[in-house]
Amino acid sequence: MIPRIHPRAHTAADPLTEALGQPVAPQDGFTPVAYWPGLDDYMQGDEQQTWTFAQWAEHLEDPYLERPFAASRYGDRHAVFHLDVRLDREDRDLAFAEWAEVAHRLARAVGIEIPGSVPAQRCHWIAVQAQPKRLDLIANLIRLGGAWYNPPADVDRRVSDEARRIEADLRLVPVYDTPRVQTGNRTLPTAQTQLAAVLTQLADEHTGPLAAVRGLVEHTAQRITRQPTPAGAGTAHRLELIALRIHALQQDLDTTAHHMTQPSPAITPTAARPTAHRAR
């Protein structure tokens, strides 16, 4: 199970379109596999069995209207959070209830769902399972109480750790279950597996060098935000963008390492052509 956190957005339309995997008309409807606890109150008395694409997008953007002054610590209003997870191609198909469990566990790992929380601490979020072996979690980081929720700096590590636990609990294929070559009575890693391990170490959220660099950049951005200078907000925002690019690089390295460890498709040998004999 490979998780990926997308850059934050200001509208829900693009994340929803990507989650559904195709262009969608505003009147088209769909049903999420999971959602935040307070959504049932919003749907009471609604005669429609299924909300339209436009209604879901509007619901996820409602906090903007309800809390017009809520903003991130950098002063922006990009509150739409998007996370997707993809299963291995060898994984079994999950049932609806299993996808719902995955969604709630990831929402808790991100921090947008807190068990036993009061309504003011809740965020609007839904989970969409519209593409094979993929789940998309989309949320608005503006809480019902008006506070802006800032995911922790190690949110990607928390999500990755939870993904590993979900793999074990649901008996899915581990991400780094790498192929090996038999040599006599010993099992040796292939050269490609060793290279993939190097990329994995670079992208590691615990001890990887990129994680350390990103942490320093994020810490610097937080320190600059507290400085009472006119240029502070702009500099902090630029540092936040740099941290996002480093995070994207980590994810690319992680995905590449995963692909490197997948078995190659069998190649059918080409029949040899008969050799023409030159007439003497």
Residue in this structure with the two tokens 């994995």, named with its chain if needed: 200
Residue 121 CA to residue 156 CA, distance in Å, equals 21
pLDDT at 227: 66
Mean pLDDT per 10-residue segment, the chain (280 residues): 93 94 88 90 64 93 92 89 94 95 96 88 95 96 93 91 94 66 45 75 70 76 70 78 84 79 56 49
Q: How far apart are the first and last CA of the chain?
A: 65
Confidence (pLDDT) at 179: 42
What's residue 48's pLDDT?
55
- Rounded to 5°, angle at Cα 113 from 149 and 158: 80
135 φ, ψ (degrees, to nearest 5) = -130, 135
**Cα 106 from chain centre:** 9
pLDDT value for 177: 44
Are residues 138 and 128 in contact, defined by beta-carbon separation less than 8 angstroms? yes
List the alpha helices (DSSP H) in the chain: 13-20, 39-43, 53-66, 96-110, 155-169, 191-203, 209-225, 232-260
Q: CA torsion sign, 71 to 84 to 15 to 212?
A: positive
pLDDT at 118: 87
Domains of the chain, residue spans = 1-175, 177-263
Q: Which fold has domain 1-175?
A: BirA Bifunctional Protein; domain 2 (3.30.930)
Q: For position 65, what pLDDT does the model report?
A: 92
* Among 144, 141, 47, 34, CA closest to 98: 34
